[in-house]
């Protein structure tokens, strides 16, 4: 998901759930959050018997505005908290990896502070499947305390009502929930896992019912393939029934290893040629994405920018990623072991420990090397990366995302659980 700009919020200025109340800061402290003024000589640093107040988080608005103007820092970071996964999707190879070392909570706390100091505004916690980490609520709370806007990306199968409640209790308000089809057989073939469809739908409905009526931006992530292209309008309607927003993700498949452009196995994407468009279907793709743009303009809950939707059809038809990628500059990827790469494509290839990130970002040589390496990348079209670039570089995309954010903050969510279950063919069925 692309980072969203701030919007009017009835709770602005008030502490969020799971966070301490803000501490007053001097002008010097606002300019440099890590230089707190010492207490006056006649003033104790803490009241007797009371713990020291937590350091106030720096302003996200200020960090975002600085990033939008100077375009010199990673506003958005994806942190894969684990490589473990409970599904076996053929278009993904993360679940095939040997389980990587996972940094613990003290290291994650230091990571959160490092990202904040580096100018990050939003972090998305993914995987693998983040719900497989037993300490996920503590991880979420850690990033929220650091003043970072925090989102969890989940396939939903293990995202139980109990876990959802624990995450909401620590202050989580943003979740991206994956669902590619309302046809059980299509979805479970994509998952490579029998029985995943019903668990996902029932967990999705439970989450929708738990989320607050206002002030949240839950997303329904849909990976677009030939098997669900005709379902997109129905999935937009499903998102509306849930009080969610639809986010489409064009499928990315590597070249076949036996093709002229093939080679070693891809570190992120799996070989599943039947899930791609194979250079065809251009008219059908153009028609499908034109309809999404039309629905968006009429007020349907579609979060993607118009620029992203228009380019998606071309990417799926041709595989060409014609967009201004700013990997390593405006966004970063952090692996389960705390190693930082410009994006997923460079994981296990070119990384730095997160402790060295601030120094690397200040290094002109490092920034130049990032540009050179990214220029030679095969390219992709993931919304979490592309939308950040569009929002920073295009005024229209920034305006569209601001409108989405304002609507999510101010409009009351409405959930029709019965209609969701009907669309999924589960109405009247007892949960298994």
Report pLDDT digits (tens) over 47-87. Answer: 444 443 444 444 655 555 555 544 567 889 999 999 899 99
- pLDDT score at 88: 86
pLDDT attached to residue 256: 52
Q: Nearest to residue 114, comparing CAs of 309, 296, 319, 356?
A: 356
pLDDT at residue number 418: 97
Q: Is 363 helix (H, G, I), strand (E, B) or coil?
A: coil
Residue 430: per-residue pLDDT: 66
- What is the reported pTM? 0.81
pLDDT in tens, the chain (432 residues): 545 554 433 333 343 444 433 333 433 333 344 333 333 333 333 344 444 344 444 465 555 555 554 456 788 999 999 989 999 888 777 777 766 689 999 999 999 999 999 989 999 999 899 999 999 999 999 999 999 999 999 999 999 999 999 999 999 999 999 999 999 999 999 999 999 999 999 999 999 999 999 999 999 999 999 999 999 999 999 999 999 999 999 987 765 545 444 455 555 555 666 777 876 788 999 999 999 999 999 999 999 999 999 999 988 888 777 778 888 888 899 999 999 988 877 776 678 899 999 888 888 898 888 888 888 887 788 888 788 888 888 899 999 999 999 999 899 999 999 999 999 999 877 666
Say whether domain 70-423 belongs to CATH 3.40.630.10.
no
pLDDT for the residue numbered 65: 53
Per-residue pLDDT, 33: 40
Domain ranges within the chain, ordered by starting residue:
70-423
Task: Specify the pLDDT at position 348.
Answer: 66
CA distance 12 to 137: 23
Question: Residue 280 CB: number of other CB atoms within 10 A?
Answer: 12
Residue with tokens 């041709």: 318
Q: Which two tokens stand for residue 10?
A: 């009835």
Residue 103: name the closest of 114, 90, 92, 95 by CA: 114
**Given this model, what pLDDT does residue 25 score?**
42
CB contact at 8 A, 323 and 311: yes
pLDDT of residue 66: 54
58 token code pair: 């720096």
The alpha carbon dihedral of 233, 94, 73, 215 has a sign of positive
Prior bond of 128 cis (ω within 30°): yes
Residue 14: the pLDDT is 40
């Amino acid at each position: 998901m692309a980072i969203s700009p701030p919007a009017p919020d009835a709770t602005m200025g008030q502490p969020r759930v799971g966070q301490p109340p803000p501490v007053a800061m001097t002008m010097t402290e606002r300019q440099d959050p890590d230089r707190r003024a010492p207490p006056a000589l006649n003033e104790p640093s803490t009241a007797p018997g009371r713990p020291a107040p937590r350091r106030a988080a720096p302003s996200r608005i200020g960090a975002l505005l600085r990033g939008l103007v100077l375009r010199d820092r990673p506003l958005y970071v994806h942190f894969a908290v684990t490589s473990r996964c409970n599904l076996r999707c053929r278009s993904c190879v993360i679940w095939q990896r040997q389980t990587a070392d996972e940094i613990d909570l003290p290291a994650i706390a230091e990571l959160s502070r490092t990202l904040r100091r580096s100018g990050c505004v939003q972090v998305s916690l993914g995987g693998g499947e983040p719900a497989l980490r037993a300490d996920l609520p503590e991880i979420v709370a850690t990033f929220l305390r650091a003043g970072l806007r925090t989102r969890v990306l989940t396939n939903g199968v293990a995202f139980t009502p109990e876990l959802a409640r624990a995450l909401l209790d620590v202050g989580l308000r943003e979740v991206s929930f994956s669902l590619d089809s309302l046809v059980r057989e299509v979805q479970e073939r994509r998952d490579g896992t029998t029985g995943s469809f019903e668990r996902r739908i029932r967990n999705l409905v439970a989450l929708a019912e738990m989320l607050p009526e206002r002030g949240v931006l839950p997303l329904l992530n849909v990976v677009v393939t030939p098997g669900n292209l005709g379902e997109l309008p129905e999935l937009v309607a499903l998102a509306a029934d849930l009080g969610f927003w639809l986010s489409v993700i064009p499928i990315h498949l590597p070249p076949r290893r036996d093709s002229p452009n093939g080679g070693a196995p891809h570190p992120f994407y799996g070989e599943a040629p039947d899930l791609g468009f194979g250079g065809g279907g251009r008219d059908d793709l153009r028609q499908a994405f034109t309809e999404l743009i039309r629905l968006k303009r009429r007020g349907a809950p579609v979060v993607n920018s118009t620029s992203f939707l228009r380019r998606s059809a071309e990417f799926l038809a041709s595989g060409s990623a014609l967009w201004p990628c700013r990997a390593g500059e405006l966004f970063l990827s952090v692996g389960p072991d705390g190693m930082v790469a410009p994006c997923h494509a460079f994981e296990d290839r070119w990384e730095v420990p997160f402790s060295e990130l601030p120094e690397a970002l200040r290094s002109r040589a490092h920034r130049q090397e990032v540009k050179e390496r990214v220029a030679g990348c095969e390219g992709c079209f993931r919304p979490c990366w592309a939308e950040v670039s569009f929002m920073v570089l295009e005024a229209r995309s920034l305006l569209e995302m601001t409108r989405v954010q304002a609507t999510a903050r101010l409009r009351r969510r409405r959930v029709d659980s019965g209609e969701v279950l009907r669309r999924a063919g589960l109405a009247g069925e007892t949960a298994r």
